[in-house]
Amino acid sequence: MVDLDVDLHTTLWTVAQAAEAARVSPNVVRNWCYRGKLKAADPGHRGRPRFRAIDVIRAEKDTRERARRTYSLQAA
Protein backbone atom coordinates (compact mmCIF):
# COMPACT_ATOMS: atom_id res chain seq x y z
CA MET A 1 0.00 0.00 0.00
CA VAL A 2 1.32 3.43 -0.93
CA ASP A 3 1.49 5.95 1.91
CA LEU A 4 -0.04 9.28 0.89
CA ASP A 5 0.78 10.97 4.20
CA VAL A 6 4.26 11.94 3.01
CA ASP A 7 5.72 15.00 1.34
CA LEU A 8 4.38 14.57 -2.19
CA HIS A 9 6.95 16.97 -3.65
CA THR A 10 9.98 14.97 -2.56
CA THR A 11 8.72 11.38 -2.43
CA LEU A 12 9.72 9.24 -5.40
CA TRP A 13 7.63 6.31 -6.60
CA THR A 14 8.42 3.42 -8.91
CA VAL A 15 6.08 2.56 -11.78
CA ALA A 16 4.32 -0.02 -9.62
CA GLN A 17 3.88 2.36 -6.69
CA ALA A 18 2.64 5.14 -8.99
CA ALA A 19 0.15 2.78 -10.59
CA GLU A 20 -1.13 1.64 -7.20
CA ALA A 21 -1.53 5.21 -5.95
CA ALA A 22 -3.36 6.30 -9.11
CA ARG A 23 -5.42 3.09 -9.20
CA VAL A 24 -4.35 2.27 -12.74
CA SER A 25 -2.21 -0.45 -14.27
CA PRO A 26 1.56 -0.01 -14.61
CA ASN A 27 1.12 0.17 -18.39
CA VAL A 28 -1.00 3.30 -17.98
CA VAL A 29 1.85 4.97 -16.08
CA ARG A 30 4.24 3.99 -18.87
CA ASN A 31 1.80 5.43 -21.43
CA TRP A 32 1.68 8.71 -19.52
CA CYS A 33 5.47 8.86 -19.85
CA TYR A 34 5.38 8.03 -23.54
CA ARG A 35 2.74 10.71 -24.18
CA GLY A 36 4.60 13.32 -22.17
CA LYS A 37 2.08 13.63 -19.32
CA LEU A 38 4.56 12.31 -16.77
CA LYS A 39 8.30 12.79 -16.59
CA ALA A 40 10.71 10.63 -14.61
CA ALA A 41 12.38 12.63 -11.83
CA ASP A 42 15.17 10.13 -11.25
CA PRO A 43 16.58 7.23 -13.26
CA GLY A 44 16.48 5.23 -10.06
CA HIS A 45 17.95 1.85 -9.31
CA ARG A 46 19.14 -0.04 -12.39
CA GLY A 47 17.90 2.75 -14.65
CA ARG A 48 14.26 2.19 -13.80
CA PRO A 49 12.32 5.45 -13.69
CA ARG A 50 11.03 6.95 -10.49
CA PHE A 51 8.45 9.70 -10.39
CA ARG A 52 7.65 12.49 -7.97
CA ALA A 53 4.41 11.64 -6.19
CA ILE A 54 2.85 15.03 -6.94
CA ASP A 55 3.49 14.57 -10.69
CA VAL A 56 1.76 11.19 -10.65
CA ILE A 57 -1.25 12.65 -8.88
CA ARG A 58 -1.44 15.53 -11.36
CA ALA A 59 -1.21 13.17 -14.36
CA GLU A 60 -3.96 11.01 -12.88
CA LYS A 61 -6.17 14.04 -12.20
CA ASP A 62 -5.67 15.37 -15.73
CA THR A 63 -6.50 11.99 -17.24
CA ARG A 64 -9.67 11.60 -15.20
CA GLU A 65 -10.83 15.14 -16.05
CA ARG A 66 -10.28 14.54 -19.78
CA ALA A 67 -12.29 11.30 -19.57
CA ARG A 68 -15.34 13.24 -18.38
CA ARG A 69 -15.71 15.23 -21.57
CA THR A 70 -19.25 15.67 -22.74
CA TYR A 71 -20.65 15.49 -26.23
CA SER A 72 -23.75 17.38 -27.26
CA LEU A 73 -26.32 15.81 -29.51
CA GLN A 74 -26.92 17.75 -32.68
CA ALA A 75 -30.35 17.91 -34.24
CA ALA A 76 -30.49 16.07 -37.52
Q: Would you tell me which CATH number, out of the four given (3.40.630.30, 3.40.50.620, 1.10.1660.10, 1.10.10.10), belongs to the domain 12-64?
A: 1.10.1660.10
Helix (H, G, I), strand (E, B) or coil at 22: helix
Q: What is the pLDDT of residue 12?
A: 92
Domain ranges in the chain? 12-64
Q: What is the pLDDT of residue 75?
A: 52
- Cα separation of 76 and 73, whole Å? 9
Give me the mean pLDDT over the 17-42 stretch: 93
pTM for the full model?
0.77
Q: What is the pLDDT of residue 69?
A: 60
Backbone dihedral angles phi then psi of residue 26, each to the nearest 5 degrees: -60, -30
Q: DSSP of 32-74, one letter per residue?
A: HHHTTS---SB--GGG--BEEHHHHHHHHHHHHHHHT---PPP
